[in-house]
Structure formats: structure tokens, C-alpha cells
Structure 1
Amino acid sequence: MRSPSSQKLIRLAAQTFTLLCGIYFLWEALSYRGFYSRLAEFQIARFGQYAPLLTYLFLLCLFSLPALLIAWLLLRKRDKDTPVAQILDQRLDQARRLRRFLIAPGLTAACVAAGLLIYSAFGLPSPEGETQTVSASEIGAVSIKQGPARLVGGELGTIIFFGQDWFVGDDRMAFSPYRSSGASTGAASVFVQLEARTKSDAEKVTQQPSWSGIIVEGGLPGPVRVLFNYMGVGITTPHYTLYADEYSLKIRYWLQSIQWGILAVFFGILAIWQNRSIKKLEKMRDQLTV
């Protein structure tokens, strides 16, 4: 039978590895790179869209579950020559650890859901205020303020249609670089989000004298940046994106928040179920010691 110190070391190694996997793939998801970006692009190529949270959870499970399974198998061997009372105590201790293990990601998911809602409400520009008019010929020479804006004097370039499936809803948008008339090459500093729910809608988009909406620094989803780069459309740093309205700007944050909230509820249900298992083990132990 392994010593308590070696058992503790095995558990700590498995938990630390899982935590590191979670942090690493969260970084990949936020920066849209590595395994996460490759898996997302595979889904986009195959289905025309991808599921962000499912992609993250798949990678987390794929890389962390083997370590957890190995740790469980190693620790499970100690039951053979151990008294029944001690086995119950050990399993009770494991069950309590698992409950804490379920509560931690549940609270994390709840915090992420709340953070996304707070960011969408206070961290993004609103449609209120004076509308800034930006001429395509002045882009890069004048400062662009986040908020209501109107783009004039330019034309759309390559149009990218993009969809994200959040299971509780989806957002499908088209984006295009906005440059001075006749300037079809070179890195773009401003992009326009177009109102198109399907690829055929995106193909029907025509040039307009002006485009109005809410402009935000950055704003292009990671897959869209990659698709533009694949098509030879450079993106400057910083870049700006003009969203048609507040709904289009915030919908993906709302959907992400709902999905993270569902994940928090899921872990909460598992924790409640685990709590019932703990009570059963406590009852068995009490009956054995009477």
C-alpha cells in the first residue's frame, strides 16, 4: 500500500496538471491560437461555424482526463489489503475532494458569466453620444474614438461570412475591410460588420456612400482575423470594427455569458449529486462503527 505522502503527491500532480491544462487552453481560446485555433478552423471548414466553449472543453478533457485516470488507477490499488472502515474513510475523503473539485470550476464558470455580462454592459461603447464622421482617406492620420461613428469616402473589400454556434443561440455575421476608393490592397485599419445572416445575404451586399454604427477598437473575432490573413488581407495594429448596432456588438458576449452560466449550473448539479453520495458514505461509515 502506498504511503499517505505518495498518495497525496499523486493527487496533487493530477490536479495541478488539470489546472495547468485549463489555464493553457483558456489562454489559447482568448488569443485564438494553437490547438484551439486549429480545431476551430477545422469546424469552420467542415460546418461553416464552430462552437467556442465546446472546443475549449474538448481540449481540456482530451489532455487532462488521461492524467486523472492514471491517478485514479494508481490510488485505487490501495483498496485490496485495506480494512473496510479505512476504505470507507478513504472513499469519503475522495468524495469530499471531488465535491470541492466540482465546486471550483462551477464558481469559475459563474464568475466568467458575470464578468462577460458586466463587460458587455460597461466595457463596450454605447450608441449614445455624438456621431464621429471618419473619412476613409483620413484613417490612420486621425484618432478614432469608440462609440457612434459614420464611415464615408471609401468602399468595401473582400467579404468574410462567419458563424459561431453557442448551442443556446448563434451569431452569424459578415465582415469587410473598409479602404479609400480604389485602394484594394495593403493592410486595413477599419472593418465593417455587415447585416447578413447567410452567405447569400453577404453576396448581395452592395457599396454604400456611408456606413453607420458603433465603432470599437479591435472587435474582429479571432477566426475572422485568421480568414482575412489567409485571403491576403492584412490587419493593422490597432484596427477598428464598425458594428451595425448595439445588438450586433454585444450578442456574442450575451451568448457566451448564457453558455458559461449553463456550465456553472451543470457543475452545481454534479456537486449536489456528489453531496448525496457523501451522505450515503457517511451513513455507511456510521453504521459500521456502531
Structure 2
Amino acid sequence: MKSSISTGSGADAPADRRKRARLIVLLACGWAAFVALLFLWQAVSYRGLIVFLAEQQFNLFGRYYPLLSYLILTLLFGSPIFFFVRGRLWEPEAVASHATAAVNLLMGLRRFMRAMFIAAALCVLGAAVAALSMLTLPDMSGPVQTVDVAAQPLEVHEGATLLRGNIVYMRTAALTEDLWTARRETRFAPVVADASGRTIRYFVELRQDEMVVAGRPLETRRGILRRDGLPGELRQLFRYAGYIVPEPHYVLYASEGSLRWGRTVVASNLAIAALFFVLLGLWQLFVLHRTTRRLDGDAPASA
């Protein structure tokens, strides 16, 4: 007869499951943060899947909803991993056992609550990145360069600039950007040496009260030059109209405030979305506590 002594780690199994659960939490949150930052970059630079969603919205609704597009893509690509690992992510011990209907109900409430707080955290992260990115934008400080479009300068840098050229007012394109509490329309016109050309390398932001008229002579404008600063929606619009917008191209913004407005829209909308998710999470927390008290009250007294 053979006998063996087991040195298994039955007592350590719950601890091992907790370690695996924590690792899964870190991996899932890391993936969600990566997805959130990736689509934030696409939304700000107007690239990738954001462009596809934007064009579909333009075709269907005549306008583009950047925050909605960002949230849809982030939830679509970021949330499945939480459901895929849900068995070990939230309640490993409870899932390993034969959970009752009450336990399943409470687990579902906790999952939804945590998902809302995770979504809020991702929105806060995105808003912080968008806000901090404004620090990298050029401003009016430093020496003022003069750029003559007709001279086709080889060296152009961002910052305070005097831009000289023919402003093609009849090719003005407008972009309306919404905060949920404010609305702003920005207009951009090409600046060219020859109006018959199809390549546009320079644009100028028109003032809010400026009339769009034809036949103006050569003009010189002062502002902040931004490399590849034309909003992606308008780049596509000019390209659809048969113009070539090369990279790099340059946009002369009228002020620091208008240059930062796009990033402000992104950061503010994400902050508002974060508040919305926090409120949903707090409401779910209230529902969870109320349900827990109700289930405790309905539990039969032990003999």
C-alpha cells in the first residue's frame, strides 16, 4: 500500500485567486486607459476611426458629434475586456462558489457601479491630457516672423507671425464647436499667392465680425501661426472640394484663446461626461445599499 502526503496549497487558493484578480484588474484598467488615450488622440488630430464616424454623422445628420463619437469608440473597445474577465475581476470567491440569486443581483449592481466610476476616471484622464496639451501650443511671445506666401519660404516656425498674401474669402469654411454650455463658430479662409492654384498651404482665421467679400487686395495679418492647425473636418472639406491641403500646412490664428478653443471643447466635454458617469455611479451605489438592506431584512433568522 502506498500513501502520499499532499503539500498542496489549498489554504493559499483564495490568496492566489485574489492576486490573479488584482493582476486582471490592473491589465483591464491599463487596456481601458490605452484605448481612452488612443481615441482621444484620434479625436484631437481627426484621424483613424474617428474620421469614419464623423463622415457617417455628416452624411446622416449634417454635423459631427465628437464627444459622442469618442465615448462610443472608447466603450466599444475598452469595456469588453471587463466583461470577458468578469468572473475573476470582481468577486472571485463568490463566482467560484454556487452563488445565489441574491448574490448574483448584488454582483451585477457592483459591476455596473464600478464600470461607471471607471468610465468617469477615463474621462477625467482624457480631460487632463487635453488640458495639459494646451501648454504645448504656440503663443504670441518671442520674435515676430514675417511670412510672404508668394515667396514660398522654406523655413517657417510656429508662433507670432505677420502673414502676407491674398485671402480667398469666397472659399471660407466655417466650423461650429459646442460646449454643452457655449457655442462658437470659427471661420478659416485660404491665403494664396495665386487664387487659381489648387494647393493651399496657408489659412487665416477670420474675425467674428469680419464680412466675407470678394476682390480685396493683398493683405497682411498678424496672429499665431500653427503648424497643421486646420481642424480635420475642414481639411476633409477642402479636399472634397478638389483642393490639396499638404502636410505641413499652416494656420494663422487671431488670438491665443481661439487657438486653444478646440482643446477647451474636448477637455470641458470630457469633464462634463465624467460628472455624468460619477452621478450614475453614485446612484448605483445608493441602489446597491438599498438592495443590500432589503435582502438583509428578508433573510430568515438563524435558529
Question: TM-score, length-normalised on structure 2?
Answer: 0.71
1:215 paired to 2:225: yes
For 1:258-269, list aligned pairs within 5 A: 258-269=268-279
Between the two proteins, the alignment pairs up a number of residues equal to 263
Aligned-pair distance for 1:240?
A: 1.3
Deviation by residue 1:72-105 (Cα, 9 ceiling, x = unmatched):
xxxxxxxxxxx9x811112212222222211111
Secondary structure of the residue aligned to 1:284 is helix
* Counterpart pick for 2:51 among 34, 37, 52: 37
Q: Distance in 1 between matches of 2:225 and 2:215?
A: 20
* Equivalent AA in structure 2 for residue 51 of structure 1: Y
> Conserved in 2, the CA contact under 8 Å of 1:169 and 1:255?
no
For 1:62-77, list aligned pairs within 5 A: none
Deviation by residue 1:156-204 (Cα, 9 ceiling, x = unmatched):
2322122223332222111122222x35314222211112479xx4457
* Counterpart pick for 1:118 among 111, 124, 132: 132
Residues 1:226 and 1:207: Cα distance change in structure 2 (over 3 Å): farther
For 1:180-219, list aligned pairs within 5 A: 180=193, 182=194, 184-196=196-208, 201-203=211-213, 206-219=216-229
RMSD: 3.8
1:100 paired to 2:114: yes
Secondary structure of the residue aligned to 2:281 is helix
Secondary structure of the residue aligned to 1:192 is strand
* Equivalent AA in structure 1 for residue 204 of structure 2: V
Secondary structure of the residue aligned to 2:196 is coil
Question: TM-score, length-normalised on structure 1?
Answer: 0.74
Match of 2:101 in 1: 87
Secondary structure of the residue aligned to 1:237 is coil
Deviation by residue 1:200-255 (Cα, 9 ceiling, x = unmatched):
x4457945520110011111111100001011121111111110111111112212
1:151 paired to 2:185: no
Residues 1:283 and 1:205: Cα distance change in structure 2 (over 3 Å): farther
> Conserved in 1, the CA contact under 8 Å of 2:37 and 2:126?
no
* Counterpart pick for 2:146 among 122, 133, 141: 133
Residues 1:197 and 1:49: Cα distance change in structure 2 (over 3 Å): farther
> Conserved in 1, the CA contact under 8 Å of 2:147 and 2:153?
no
Residues 1:47 and 1:171: Cα distance change in structure 2 (over 3 Å): farther
> Conserved in 1, the CA contact under 8 Å of 2:177 and 2:265?
no
* Equivalent AA in structure 1 for residue 137 of structure 2: L
Return 5+ residue gaps in structure 1 as ranges.
Answer: 1-7, 70-82
Q: Distance in 2 between matches of 1:265 and 1:240?
A: 36
For 1:222-233, list aligned pairs within 5 A: 222-233=232-243
Secondary structure of the residue aligned to 1:144 is coil
Larger Rg: 2
1:276 paired to 2:290: no
Secondary structure of the residue aligned to 1:235 is coil
